[in-house]
């Protein structure tokens, strides 16, 4: 029997957590355990996968509903409901099952759970199309398939179409602009074929977005440290800033403080499914001259009163 994984506990949220709370918890943990942050750390890599798995399920309303009802057996929920409907809505009319006894979901391991039901019903590993009650043939939905797609930040600046080879099938997939690292795209009917004429399962593609080291991403907003020479920080002027869409000249006010944060509106990433762009935030950092000539030394000495 598969070990029960509490996805809510994995993300550190309550069962009542809304979409915003789930996303906030996911981002925090994904940053903490990301392979780029903790390279060659097997425990961190395992935790990162657990966090992504939990978010992929709880962030999808349909999956979350099934998980809340069936626990670790949520992936078999469609087969269970279909079989129940074909038996008149409730095995034996009293909410029981054709094998005797009651099956109720229990994360604590007390009593039987839905795993027992599926093992009896399908013969352990899902069964065959002809398995069922009284020897009558049944049709069941195919299993869902999960895949990962690694993309660069430049790939999500616009909707990007790619042809993927999944399970021997070539699929044309649109990578939606602004998609976040760890987000999952559902392709209906592109999973494993059903049994006994049942519908195919779905394909879930989880995106792994590689963000360049110079940036820190929060949703559609980007943050980076921008070096500016001492004279421009003191006297004002312009500095060239590299953004995801190219270089721009940005004005610097005179007497700008070291570490000051400024915003380049609309120079971040596309907002996922909402239109517009996020912002690029620059933390300005003074870049000191590597070597002063005699005139510069004299000028600074005069300013210092030496």
* CATH code of the domain in which 180 resides: 2.60.260.20
1 domain-assigned: no
139 domain-assigned: no
138 domain-assigned: no
Pair 41, 67 in one domain: yes
Query: What would the mean pLDDT of 172-177 be, rounded to a whole number?
Result: 89
Instruction: Give the span between the Cα atoms of 225 and 282, in whole angstroms.
Output: 6
Pair 28, 115 in one domain: yes
Work out the number of other CB atoms within 10 angstroms of the CB of residue 119. 14
Identify which of 139, 101, 107 has the alpha carbon closest to the alpha carbon of residue 120: 101
**Contact by Cβ (8 Å): 282, 262:** yes
Environment class of 75 (CB within 10 Å of its CB; exposed 0-12, middle 13-18, buried 19+) = middle
Domain boundary among 174, 192, 210: 210
Residue predicted with more confidence, 195 or 21 = 21
Q: Out of 19-33, 102-116, 220-234, pick the least confident.
A: 102-116
Domain that residue 260 falls in: 216-303
Whole-number pLDDT of residue 306: 66
3-state SS assignment for residue 31: helix
Pair 181, 221 in one domain: no
Unique residue bearing structure tokens 């043939």:
137
Query: What's the number of domains the chain is made of?
Result: 3
CB-side exposure of 130: number of CA atoms within 13 Å? 1
pLDDT tens string 227-248: 999 889 989 999 999 999 999 9
CATH number of the domain to which 91 belongs: 1.10.287.110
**Contact by Cβ (8 Å): 47, 33:** yes
pTM value surpassing 0.85 = no
**Contact by Cβ (8 Å): 80, 140:** no
């Amino acid at each position: 029997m598969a070990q029960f994984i509490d996805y809510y506990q994995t993300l550190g949220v309550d069962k009542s957590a809304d979409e915003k709370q789930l996303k906030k918890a996911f981002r925090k943990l994904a940053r903490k355990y990301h392979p780029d942050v903790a390279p060659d750390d097997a425990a961190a890599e395992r935790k990162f996968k657990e966090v992504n798995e939990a978010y992929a399920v709880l962030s999808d309303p349909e999956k979350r509903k099934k998980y809340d009802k069936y626990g670790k057996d949520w992936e078999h929920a469609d087969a269970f409901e279909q079989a129940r409907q074909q038996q008149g809505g409730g095995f034996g009319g009293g909410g029981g099952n054709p094998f005797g006894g009651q099956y109720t979901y229990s994360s604590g391991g007390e009593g039987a759970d839905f795993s027992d039901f599926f093992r009896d019903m399908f013969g352990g590993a899902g069964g065959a199309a002809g398995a069922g009650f009284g020897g009558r043939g049944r049709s069941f939905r195919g299993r869902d398939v999960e895949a990962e797609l690694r993309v660069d930040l430049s790939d999500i600046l616009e909707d990007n179409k790619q042809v993927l080879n999944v399970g021997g099938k070539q699929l044309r997939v649109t990578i939606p602009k602004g998609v976040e690292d760890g987000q999952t795209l559902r392709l209906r009917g592109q999973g494993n074929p059903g049994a006994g004429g049942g519908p195919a399962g779905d394909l879930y593609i989880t995106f792994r977005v590689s963000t360049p080291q110079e940036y820190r991403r929060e949703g559609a907003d980007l943050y980076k440290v921008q070096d500016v020479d001492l004279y421009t920080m003191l006297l004002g002027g312009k500095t060239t800033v590299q953004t995801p869409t190219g270089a721009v000249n940005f004005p610097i006010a005179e007497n700008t403080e070291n570490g000051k944060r400024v915003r380049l509106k609309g120079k971040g990433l596309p907002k996922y499914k909402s239109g517009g762009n996020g912002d690029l935030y620059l933390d300005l950092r003074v870049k000191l001259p590597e070597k002063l000539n005699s005139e510069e030394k004299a000028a600074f000495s005069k300013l210092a009163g030496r």
